[in-house]
Amino acid sequence: MLGIVLCGGQSIRMGTDKGLLNHHGKPWAEIASDKLKELGREVKFSINPHQKEKYINYFDEAHLIIDHPSLDIKGPLLGVLSAHLENPKADLFLLACDLLLMEIRVLKKVIEVSTTHKSSEAIIFKKKDQPEPLCGIYTAAALTKIMLWLQRGELHKHSMKFVLSKLEVLAIEIEQEDYRCFDNFNSHAEVSGL
């Protein structure tokens, strides 16, 4: 299983690349990477082509996965499928770089559940019946399926939530005390005071 830190968003509301924002002396992307590494995962960073020049100043180029030019989609799904094309046999453990408050003990729940629920194509969290698609495991088989749907023109929406609606998903209910772990930060005002 390969850890993928999703950094390829446009960061429009933030006005700057969120993955390279600094928190306690580290870029957000590295903070997310450290959490996945603590789970014993090799980690790579999903980025868009415009980010490469800056990211190679922080991370080994071999650990960067650039959005695949053959994929005519946008959003997180582009990063996820690009990671799949580069690592077609690997299950992917996704973590968005802006889930700054995510705790390792919460991530461990996904690993624990994955060992007992082999039939699930994706294991994610849900909060009040809403899926949290950017933190969880997507199997290689599920990603292969999504690629086929895309190639056949059967993927009518390119949102992660739509994709999840077509897969066998195990969703772990987030306990109220852990809601904060799923706060994502989109503006400087939201980050100030952390």
Encode pLDDT of 99-121 as tens digits: 999 999 999 999 999 988 888 99
Name the pTM for this structure: 0.92
DSSP-based three-state secondary structure for 41: coil
Q: Where are the domains of the chain?
A: 2-180
Quote the pLDDT of residue 23. Answer: 85
**What number of residues does the chain have?**
194
Which region, left, alpha or beta, applies to residue 83 given φ > 0 means left and ψ of -120 to 50 means alpha? Answer: alpha
**How far, in Å, CA of 150 to CA of 61, rounded?**
28
- Distance from C-alpha of 152 to C-alpha of 164, rounded to nearest angstrom: 18
pLDDT at 18: 86
The class (CATH top level) of 2-180 is alpha beta
Q: Give the side-chain half-sphere CA count within 13 A for 193.
A: 4
- The predicted-structure confidence for 9-67, as pLDDT tens digits, reads as follows 655 455 578 889 888 889 999 999 999 999 999 999 999 999 999 999 999 999 999 99
Mean pLDDT of the region 140-167: 94
CB 82 within 8 A of CB 169: no
